[in-house]
Chains A and B, each alone.
Chain A
Amino acid sequence: MSGRHGIQKSRWLPAYVTAYLAFLYLPILLLPIFSFNNAASTTFPLAGFTTKWYASLWGNTVMLEAARNSLIVGITVSILSTGLAICAARAVTRYKFRGQRAATGLLMAPLFLPEIIVAVSLLMIVLQLGIELSLATVILGQTVFCLPYALTVLISGFDGFDRSLEEASLDLGETAFGTFRRVTLPVVAPAIISSLLVSFTISLDEFILAFFLSGTEPTLPVYIWGQLRFAAKLPSVLALGSIMIALSIILVTSAEILRRRAEHRLKAGAAAHG
C-alpha cells in the first residue's frame, strides 16, 4: 500500500485516529466505571469498588417490568423487520423491476429523516385511528425504523448468492421447498441471523419512538428517561445502562462475526463454482 510515491503513512495520522477512537469510546467506558463506584455522585477521584448498584436492580419491579417490555418489543420487532426485509432484499437482488429505486428509497428513508418527525407522524395516525398506545404501537413504529438496517445487512448477504445453485437443485429433482431449505437457507442463514441481532439491538436502544408510542408501558430507555430526573437514582441507572451497553456490544459483535462468516461462505462458494 505504501506506493511508490505519495500514499505514505504520516506520523500524526495514527495518533489522530487513536485520539478519535478514545473520544468515541470515552462515554461508553465511563458508565461502567462509575457503576462500580461506591458513591452516589459521578466525581473523581473514585470512592472504591461496590456492586451494590447492580444488586439494587434485582428488587426493582418497575425496572424488571420495563425490561420484560423491551424484550417482547425487541424480539417481535427483529422478527417482523427481518421478515419484511428478507422479501425486499430478495426482490431487489434477484429481479430487475421498474420502481425498484423508488421502493428502496422509501424503505431507506428513515435513515434520512429526523426521528422526531417519524415519531410524531406515527403518533398522529395511531391516535387518529383510535388505537390505544401500547407495546403493539411501539412494535409497529420500530419495525419501520429497523428496516433500513435489516435491509442493508440482508442485501449484502444475498448479493453474492449464486442462483445457479438453486437451479441445479431444482433440475436434480429437489422440490421448491427442499431447494429453499437445503440450498438457499444454509447460504443466507448467517445474514438472516445477523439481521435479527442488529434489529434487536436497535429496538432495545431505541428511545424516541418508544417515548411517543409506548403509552403506559415503558421500555427500558423510556424507564431510564423517567429516572433521569432524580439525582439519587443515577447510580442504579448507571448500572442498568452498563448492562445494556454490554448487551449491545455482545449482540453486534455476534452479528459482525456471522456476517463475516457469511461473506467467507459466499466467496468459497463462488470459488468452488467458478
Chain B
Amino acid sequence: MVALPGTAQTEINVPPAAGRRWASSDEANGLTLISPTLLYALALLFLPVLIVIAYSFWSQDYLTIDRSFTLENYRVALTEPIYRDLLWRSLTISLAVSVITVACSYPVAWFISFHGGVHKNLWLFLITVPCWTSYLLRVMSWKVILGYQGVLNTGLMSTGLIDKPVTTLLYNSNAVIITLVHSWAAFAILPIYVSLEKIDRSLIEAAHDLGDNKFWSFLRVTLPLSLPGIVSAFLIVMIPTVGDYVTPKLVGGKDGVMIATAIQAQFGKGANWPLGAALSVTTMVVVSAMAGLTVLVLKLFVRRIR
C-alpha cells in the first residue's frame, strides 16, 4: 500500500512523451500493483489445481507415487459403481438444489428490485445476514430441526397433528436438498437482483402499452433481460454444491452421501491421492458440462418465448 502514492506521483510527473514508455504506462502500473495478489493466487490456487490434474494421471504404488502416465484412475472414477453412483447422485442433488434455489429466490429478488422502495439496501442486508453465519452451525441446526426427536417432530406432536415422529425427515437426499437450498439462497438472490436493477423500467411499461398483459410482459421483457443474473445464480449455486461435504455428512445419512465423502476418503486412511485427484477432476469437468448445458437450455428457452 505504501507503493501506491509513489506510482501516482510518477504517473503525474512524467512528461507526456516519456509517459509512452511501457515502464511507466497504465499497463505496467496496473500489473505491478496487482502482482502480489496475483502471485499469491497463482501459488495457492492455480498451481495446486494443476498439481491435482497432474496427480490424476499418476498412480499410487503403496507408499510412493508412480509418475508414469495412466488413465486408470479415470476408468475407476467413471466405471466403478460406487463412484459412478455417488457422482450421479451429487449431480442430481446439485441440479435440484440450483433449480429450486433459483426458482424460489427469483420472486424475492423481483420484490426487492420492484417494490423495495427506499429500503432496498435494508432488504438485501436482511436476506444476506443468515448466510454470513457459520455454515457448519446452520447445517447442525437443520439436523436439530429435522431429527427423529427433533424440533419439527416434537413440535408437531405437542400440537397433536401427528402422534408418532415422522422418520422420513432426516438422513436422506431431501434433507440434503432442503439444507443446501437454505445455504445458497443469498448467493442466488444477489445476482438476480443486480440484473433486475439494470432493467430500464420504461421497457416494461412499453410492453404494457403495446398490449401485453402482466404475465406476457414479464415473460417477454423482464425474464429475458434478467437472464444474465439467472445464469450467474445457477453457476454460483450449482458448481460449489456438487462438492459439498458437511451437509451430506450431517443430514444425508446413507441415502444422501455425495462425492465429497469419497474424495475426502482418498486423502485420509484410504490414501490414494491419484484416485482422489481423478475424482475431483471428473467432478469438476462433469459439473461444468452440466452447468454449461443448463445455461444453454435457459438461453434457448428464453429465445423461444421471446
Residue positions of A touching B, CB distance < 8 A: 1, 3-7, 9, 13-14, 16-17, 20-21, 23-28, 30-31, 34, 41-45, 83-88, 90-92, 94-100, 103, 106-107, 109-118, 120-125, 128, 140-141, 143-144, 147, 166-167, 170, 175-177, 179-180, 184, 201, 204-205, 207-208, 212, 221, 224-225, 228, 237, 241, 244-245, 248-249, 251-253, 256, 260
Q: How many angstroms from the CA of A16 to the CA of B103 in the assembled complex?
A: 13
Contact A107 B144 (CB under 8 A): no
Question: In the complex, what distance in Å separates the CA atom of A86 from the CA atom of B41?
Answer: 14
Tell whether, in the assembled complex, residue A95 and residue B108 are in contact, meaning their CB atoms are under 8 Å apart. Answer: no
**Nearest-Cβ distance from residue A208 to partner chain B, whole angstroms:** 6
With A31-B141, A87-B34 in contact, do A106 and B136 touch (Cβ < 8 Å)? no
| A95 and B130 contacting across the interface, CB-CB below 8 Å | no
B132 and A201: CB pair below 8 A?
Answer: yes
Please measure, in the bound complex, the distance between the C-alpha atom of A228 and the C-alpha atom of B143, giving whole angstroms: 11
- 15 pairs from A and B in contact (CB 8 Å cutoff): A13-B107, A44-B155, A83-B1, A87-B35, A91-B31, A103-B38, A107-B41, A112-B239, A114-B260, A115-B243, A120-B276, A121-B52, A144-B41, A207-B134, A252-B129
Binary A-proximity of B1-44 (CB < 8 A = 1, otherwise 0): 11011101100100000000000001111110111111011101
Interface residues of B in 32-62 (CB under 8 A from A): 33-38, 40-42, 44-49, 51-52, 55
> Known contacts A107-B37, A120-B267: does B158 contact A140 (CB below 8 Å)?
no
On whether the beta carbons of B127 and A24 are closer than 8 Å, the reply is yes
**Contact across chains for A205 and B244 when beta carbons are under 8 A apart:** no
CA distance A204 to B135 in the complex (A): 11
Cα of A12 to Cα of B16 in the assembled complex, Å: 62
**Nearest CB to that of A260 among chain B residues?**
B121
Contact B151 A42 (CB under 8 A): yes
Query: Apart from A42-B149, A84-B36, A116-B263, what 16 extra A-B contacts exist at CB < 8 Å?
Result: A1-B115, A3-B204, A27-B130, A27-B142, A27-B145, A42-B147, A44-B158, A94-B30, A106-B45, A114-B239, A114-B242, A121-B52, A125-B47, A176-B9, A245-B134, A248-B132
Contact of A113 among B29, B240, B264, B276 (CB under 8 A): B240
Q: Is the CB of A112 within 8 A of B240?
A: yes
A95 close to B26 (CB less than 8 A) = yes
A90–B52 touching, CB < 8 Å? no
Return chain B residues, CB-CB under 8 Å to A44: 151, 154-155, 158
Nearest A residue (CB) for B273? A124
Partner of A117 from B8, B149, B280 at Cβ < 8 Å: B280
* Contact partners of A112 in chain B: CB under 8 A: 235-236, 239-240
Residues of B within 8 A of A45 (CB): 154, 158
Q: Of residues B47, B138, B182, B241, which shows the largest number of chain A Cβ atoms within 10 Å of its Cβ?
A: B138
Give the nearest-CB partner of B185 in chain A. Answer: A24
A199 to chain B, nearest CB (A): 12
Closest 7 CB pairs of A and B: A114-B243, A95-B30, A176-B5, A121-B48, A97-B30, A27-B141, A91-B34
